[in-house]
A and B are shown apart, each in its own frame.
Chain A
């Protein structure tokens, strides 16, 4: 298998070198780009191949939150991995799907990388093509497909609108469907709502 394109963003030359070397263990000739500042990273296109983005903790400065979020939204299929031994700042938690602690042993990090790249069998990583929604996500999808607003969903499922938004982001990333009309079609195809319900949902 070929690994997806990988971007490493870190100011730490040794960290970059080390990570590149470990990724080479997984595959001889991976596509890797490295950057030392957020400004240098080229913007992603929505219809591009998915990219795996490793971002080191020194880039989690307050000034970079907006830029990181923007980068995250450019293509929902991209997967972000935090390189940190510390807690990820709350604002950035939605962005990162995985965390690698650079202080772990080489073998542990290799295992994590295999998991992230979906090389391990039965792994639940993004690249293993696992797009099953969790039970909660399916509930949220149902309400979205019925045409409910975030506020209505929050009232119906007794969750905060913030949580609703997070679920919606994850659903879109997992399914690769962005519009409400598209999610509704998916929901009917998968028996989450009926065609009649869709008709009546004034979408």
Chain B
């Protein structure tokens, strides 16, 4: 069942606690009382429709109203993806890193050797993820904002055309690589190939966090590939048409 403007925030979290980080991206914290989505969004000045589509599509993977998503203001999407980036880099990745380190430190010498491999592997993954996010925030997003503004304000100049011809979003979208592959490998290395650890509870928690991060990242990638990039392509086309 879809969440609606009348759903209570508390009920939403009871139904799916994985939505908590999604709520945080809208600056919503716990202690909702009996507030409904409509009430809370009004109070906080949140775009209600966008909020609903985001939680519903995260909650149910078959729910993905692409047309509706494409109709939202682009800045809303960018704001959301930026907040997700922060969540990965400031919270999720350090948390996982910590867990691997703890497991490594608590292991016997022979097993520790193996955990050091995992530590290094995760460090590589982290470096790739940071690089990927920086590329987006430092180059891609500013590009998107620039051309979006030009179209909205009707101030398209020949420079904009040069810009979109030089580096259209398609070039980036095409090589929008799978940082997820390493995460997938890490899960399998832990599930299948790493010798059993003495610290079962921590190993389990680590794995759960990896699954959560993966799920969140997949959702994120879907937003970029299916909503953000097509939106940008549309703006690029508008600029081309306008100049011709």
Contacts and interface: CB of A to CB of B under 8 A. Distances in A.
A192 to B, nearest CB: 12
B118 A178 contact: no
A188 interface: yes
A186 B124 CA distance: 15
A47 B193 contact: no
B193 A189 contact: yes
Interface stretch (B47-55, B156-164, B165-173, B178-186): B178-186
Contacts of B188: 175-177, 182
A46 interface: yes
B114 A182 contact: no
Nearest to B61: A45
Interface residues of B, number: 20
Contacts of B185: 176-179, 181-182, 185
B182 A195 contact: no
B218 A182 contact: no
Interface size bracket, A side? 10 to 19
A190 interface: yes
Q: Which of A131, A176, A182 has the most CB of B within 10 A?
A: A182
A74 to B, nearest CB: 12
A47 B194 contact: no
B117 A188 contact: yes
Interface string A92-129: 00000000000000000000000000000000000000
Given A46-B184, A175-B188, A182 B194 contact: no
A3 B185 CA distance: 24
A195 B117 contact: yes
Nearest to B211: A47
B17 interface: no
A25 B175 CA distance: 46
A182 B186 contact: yes
B136 interface: no
A24 B44 CA distance: 55
B113 A186 contact: no
Contacts of A190: 193
A176 B192 contact: yes
Nearest to A176: B188
A190 B189 CA distance: 11
B121 interface: yes
B224 interface: no
B214 interface: yes
Interface string A150-194: 000000000000000000000000011111011001101110000
Given A176-B192, A177-B189, A182 B117 contact: no
Given A47-B218, A176-B185, A195-B113, 8 more contacts: A46-B184, A47-B214, A131-B192, A178-B181, A185-B189, A185-B193, A186-B189, A189-B193
